Structure 1
Amino acid sequence: MARALVVIDVQESFRQRSSWRTISNPAIAGAVGSLVDYARSVGDLVVWVLHAEPETGSEFDPARGFVRFIEPLAPAAGEPVLTKTSHNAFTTTSLQQILTTRGIGELLIAGIRTEQCCETTARLAADLGYEVTFVTDATATNPIAHRDAPADQTVDELLADPRTLPASAVIERTEYALAGRFAVIRTVAEVTAQRQAGASATGYILPP
């Protein structure tokens, strides 16, 4: 079955926010880069997704110049690059059309943020009939404020609030919610080992 890696919102916008210092994996670009390199090596399609909020003046407003991939991540020639304005990567893009045209039936999901755009994309992909693998250590997120916390809460106040849900707990809850329902949970190493095991048994790299 043909497979695609969907890289979601690993963009400079997040690094420009004060909340970046609370990100669960500051080296997310490296983790995603390893997955991208491997996907390319076995012939998987890599689809790149950016999030934009035009005319908002936020870090996600394209006019500010931050809606770009965190270096050294960069699409290769022929790899689709999509810009979304919804949480999931399907609703406001041509992602499904691209996947259908390429005969893709299986997706790897990676990116920022674990429980938001990545999880939402995984859920919708499963509903659309794709086999989804959620590569948890190639995702990242931040602590989440309590629903009753002030909207203007600073990062220091967020971290000091005992009601704040730590990023590790957010990731754990996403894994529990997706596993067995919407996706298989894997790490980058597990994804790599799965394909390598198939290759060693046959003497060549398995096609996607």
Structure 2
Amino acid sequence: MGTTGLLIIDLQNDYFPGGRYTLDGTEAAAAKAGELLALARAEGASVVHVRHVMTGEDAPFFAKGTPGAEIHPDLAPREGEPVVVKEAVNAFLRTDLDALLRGRGITRLVIVGAMSHMCVDAASRAALDLGYEVTLAHDATATLPLTFCGTEVPAPAVQAAMMAALEFAGANVVSADEAAAVLRG
């Protein structure tokens, strides 16, 4: 086990077509994430899955106990791959994620998942704040269109803005193919 780990954030059924909160490009992002997952497993790199669960009765998606809250089968954890369950946007907040990563000697993270403008952003920034070297595979993340002050912001613009901001913050934002080189060490 090396010092690099793959962190897969919230690639859960509700974000895929037919789910309660479908994102733009989830299937393509999951395919790229799946390639990195296969590589990480082949290289013996640590893999940590993050799963968001909402407990309120009015949860718009990822409702506790529903199939939509489960990790998509294409990215399902294998035995020995930990799953960190979170109830907040930031995967490090009120979870054992940091202790888990440090316990495995992880100092570098390759991050994939969803949503780019929420949980991927929060986890990437927290990881940077905690001193991790962060590589973010932009094409292995997904988002959706947003609206601000009456202006519609298409998903590709949301994605570009988030990736630019995370790169500015210190993340190494690259394609999944380039992130593969990081996993290979």
Is contact 2:28–2:140 with CA below 8 Å preserved after alignment? no
CA distance in 2, matches of 1:76, 1:9: 16
The alpha-carbon deviation at position 69 of structure 1 amounts to 1.2
Equivalent position to 2:164, from 176, 192, 208: 176
The runs of at least 4 consecutive aligned structure 1 residues that moved more than 3 Å come to none
Does the residue aligned with 1:134 lie in a helix, a strand or coil?
strand
1:86 maps onto 2:88 in alignment: yes
Look up the match of 1:132.
134
Query: TM-score by structure 1 length?
Result: 0.80
Alignment-mate amino acid for residue 61 of structure 1:
A
From the two aligned structures, give the one with the greater strand fraction. 2
Listed as ranges, the gaps of 5+ residues in structure 2 are: none
The alpha-carbon deviation at position 145 of structure 1 amounts to 1.8
CA distance in 2, matches of 1:33, 1:90: 23
CA distance in 2, matches of 1:96, 1:60: 23
Is contact 2:110–2:182 with CA below 8 Å preserved after alignment? no
| Rg larger for | 1
- Identical counterparts, % of pairs: 34
Look up the match of 2:144.
142
Look up the match of 2:124.
122
Aligned-pair Cα RMSD in Å: 1.8
Alignment-mate amino acid for residue 47 of structure 1:
V
Does the residue aligned with 1:62 lie in a helix, a strand or coil?
coil
Is contact 2:29–2:141 with CA below 8 Å preserved after alignment? yes
Alignment-mate amino acid for residue 114 of structure 1:
S
Query: TM-score by structure 2 length?
Result: 0.90
Alignment-mate amino acid for residue 28 of structure 2:
A
Is contact 1:49–1:82 with CA below 8 Å preserved after alignment? yes
CA distance in 1, matches of 2:137, 2:55: 29
Q: Could you report, residue by residue, the CA deviation over 1:90-115 in whole angstroms, capped at 9, with x for unpaired residues?
A: 01211001011111100111001011
Listed as ranges, the gaps of 5+ residues in structure 1 are: 149-162, 196-205
